[in-house]
Homo-oligomer: A and B are copies of this chain.
Amino acid sequence: MSDASDDILAATYRALCEHGYADLTMQRIADRSDRSKAALHYHYDTKEDLLQAFLDDLLAQFESQLDCEATDPGKRLDQFVEAVFDPAREGGQRFPVALLEIKAQAPYHQAYRDRLAAVDERMREIVSDAVRDGVEADQFASRDPDVVARFVVTLISGAHAREVGLGEEPAATRSLVEEYLDETLDRDGGSD
């Protein structure tokens, strides 16, 4: 990704945290960057185009938090839970709020829905691959990897909605996810 894109997407993140999705404008994003609104439009035609690139970048950032070298299935699950529930990000609770607004807009923007679906599919893939490998290696009890993955991503979706709608700490769901994985896969807590 070019420096310009990096800078614009970082400004988008800051503007989303400050104004939310509904009040996000190209001008407000420009105000949070070193670039003019015209310069933004040179890279992205519309706010929707920019948001698509932003959501793609979010997925890339999530991937970068996962250590592809890890081979132990238990370690991979632990790392996934860590990346989901303790993302290295500034902006506190305001970003989850903006992201929930974007989810609420998804029925009207197929491009958002596609990106959100890509993130969800990637999360399900990481969990189901790790479960499959762990079951094959006799480290985990025999379970359907896709069912386990679906449980985990649904709890994660719930954690997000509850953080915003109820002000509930995501840690409350994190411990549910860990307990579920330990019990379902018959493993003892984290593997490190």
- Report A's interface with B, CB cutoff 8 A: 22, 93, 97, 100-101, 103-104, 106-107, 113, 116-117, 120, 147, 150-151, 153-162, 164-167, 172-173, 176, 179-180
- In the bound assembly, the distance between CA atoms of A166 and B103 in angstroms comes to 8
A101 to chain B: which residues have CB within 8 Å? Answer: 101, 104
A166 to chain B: which residues have CB within 8 Å? Answer: 106, 113, 116-117, 120
State the 10 A-B residue pairs at the shortest beta-carbon distance, nearest first.
Answer: A158-B158, A103-B165, A157-B158, A154-B158, A100-B104, A161-B161, A157-B161, A101-B104, A106-B165, A157-B162
Q: How far is the CB of A11 from chain B (nearest CB, A)?
A: 22
A93 to chain B: which residues have CB within 8 Å? Answer: 107
A154 to chain B: which residues have CB within 8 Å? Answer: 155, 158-159, 162, 173, 176
A/B interface sample: 6 pairs, CB < 8 A: A22-B22, A151-B155, A154-B155, A155-B155, A157-B157, A158-B159
> Can you name 20 extra interface pairs (CB under 8 A) apart from A157-B161, A158-B158, A160-B161?
A22-B22, A103-B165, A104-B104, A106-B165, A107-B164, A113-B165, A113-B167, A116-B165, A117-B166, A120-B166, A147-B179, A151-B176, A153-B158, A154-B155, A154-B158, A154-B173, A154-B176, A156-B158, A157-B157, A157-B165
